[in-house]
Amino acid sequence: EDKVVQSPLSLVVHEGDTVTLNCSYEVTNFRSLLWYKQEKKAPTFLFMLTSSGIEKKSGRLSSILDKKELFSILNITATQTGDSAVYLCAVEARRRNNNAGNMLTFGGGTRLMVKP
Amino acid sequence: DAGVTQSPTHLIKTRGQHVTLRCSPISGHKSVSWYQQVLGQGPQFIFQYYEKEERGRGNFPDRFSARQFPNYSSELNVNALLLGDSALYLCASGLSGVYNEQFFGPGTRLTVL
């Protein structure tokens, strides 16, 4: 069974701090790893990673994938109160039954709270 | 442009009943995916449909079914509801079946009593 584990479960920091969120996975037929930010209900897409060692960057957020060690990290520098949210990691994999397409397996999320 | 819309917003059912949740994708999007998110957990993938065909299925019992209509809207049906089906049901639409292009709707909060 595919498994995605995120750590820490929750994190409280102050504005200006840098945080690193972790995502490890065990899946068969890996296709990609995705990061989302969920503030209220609808998750919003952050990054999609398919290749090891290539950093994706968007403003103060960056992410990298290690396909050998089966993990990814999401970094947020100079955190702001607006970064407070649940950050979700998901892995896309092809199902063992080739006719069943791909599926996403999500981790449990990391709840980040940024205090002023 | 309107985003992904879902109806109803909230729903209360009792055990054994069935429920139908609806999702309208962003105009021009042909892919719809469904997810179940239990409080305090990450979403779990239920189905993906693209061009009205099932492209992916998660590990959910046969009580869960879905379909996509010619206008690309979608319904998720759950029969014989259990207490454990209480969750936020999220729908996401995309131009294709690629997951990085999908946009999530606000969800339907289902409570089973």
Q: Would you say B32 and B45 are in contact if contact means Cβ atoms under 8 Å apart?
A: no
**Taking the mean position of all CA atoms in its chain, how far away is CA A48?**
9
B96 falls in which pLDDT band (50, 70, 90)? confident
Which H or E element spans position A65?
A: strand A61-66
The token duo for B73 is 């809207």
* pLDDT tens, residue by residue, B38-84: 998 999 999 899 888 988 888 899 999 999 999 999 999 999 999 99
The token duo for A28 is 């068969």
Please check the confidence at residue B9 and state whether its pLDDT lies above 60: yes
Please check the confidence at residue B85 and state whether its pLDDT lies above 80: yes
Please check the confidence at residue A81 and state whether its pLDDT lies above 60: yes
A111 falls in which pLDDT band (50, 70, 90)? very high
How far A111 CA lies from chain B's nearest CA (Å)? 10
pLDDT confidence of residue B34? 95
Which H or E element spans position B1?
A: none
Distance in angstroms (rounded) separating the CA atoms of residues A71 and A65: 6
Pairwise CB contact (< 8 Å): B58 & A103: yes
Would an 8 Å CB–CB cutoff place B103 in contact with chain A?
yes
Q: Which one-letter DSSP state was computed for residue A40?
A: S
Distance in angstroms (rounded) separating the CA atoms of residues B23 and B4: 7
Would an 8 Å CB–CB cutoff place A92 in contact with chain B?
yes
